[in-house]
Amino acid sequence: MDPDNITPEENTTAADQPEAPATRYYGKAVALVAAAGAGHRLGADKPKAFVELGEHTILQHCLLNIAASGVFEEIVVMASFEMCSLAIDQSTALELDIPVKVYPGGVLRSDSVFEGIKRIMANDENDPVSIIAVHDAARCLTPPKLFADVVEKTRLLMTVNNPGAVIPALPVTDTIKMVDSVGNVIGTPDRSRLRAIQTPQAFDAKLLSKIHEQAAAEDINTTDDAALFERFGITVMTVEGDRRAFKITNPEDLALANIYMNQDEND
């Protein structure tokens, strides 16, 4: 693959890259947190990341779990412009042992992620970045081990010149139907091959940056960064996901998050 001229469905191998991943695996890992969503479906009077969940906000729970993983040198939070000051205050209050930087995100999730990538890679020549793990703040109870799993597997892939792209996946337990535009069933996929995908999703940082540049040039928007790798013909690998990495979207999800928190406290 030529990262300067990526085309969809290209048959990509690590050997096609002008700079092998193995030359970059030693750099730092950065967590990029998408926290700019309004969260209207949650029914709160504030953006979702700043809704209280026990003693902390959703964003603070997210930051605590990322820091506890021990695999990141930096966290970058993309918040809406009007919430950046509060995000800084809330991250500072946690007194984490790794730096947290906050920047304004875009209208769409893909805009926020791309802007965050540009911020992270701005000083790459002087402070090399090996891995970027993109995470949704709304998946705030994601356990530290899952962050470690995706980063460690990505770094291992890079050491053998494999384009690093690793995502958490859970088996699908319901039967899934494909339907047409009016709701008629047109097929039943094999459930054994289906997976529900979560975040964090960890990637070779330079390759992620190049792919987002190409996607922006082609006006491609997505809520799943791994889908961009698939679109450009790059293999994405999985690790076992975790039930606690679910996304808080509606009031029922917030109630479930409280249940999980109570269970953890009583274990």
* Cα–Cα dist 209/117, whole Å: 6
Whole-number Å distance between alpha carbons of 151 and 19: 20
Is there a contact between 62 and 134 (Cβ–Cβ < 8 Å)? no
The neighbour count for residue 242, using CB atoms within 10 Å, is 17
Domains located in the chain, CATH noted: 3-266 (3.90.550.10)
Write out the two tokens for 212. 């987002």
Q: How many helices (H) and strands (E) does the chain have?
A: 7, 12
- At residue 49, φ and ψ (nearest 5 deg) are -65, -15
Residue pLDDT, tens place only, 139-173: 999 999 999 999 999 999 999 999 899 999 999 99
Residue from 265, 247, 208 nearest 48 by CA: 247
Reported as a single tens digit per residue, the pLDDT across 74-104 is: 999 999 999 999 999 999 999 999 999 999 9
At 39 the pLDDT is 79
pLDDT tier at 132, thresholds 50, 70, 90: very high
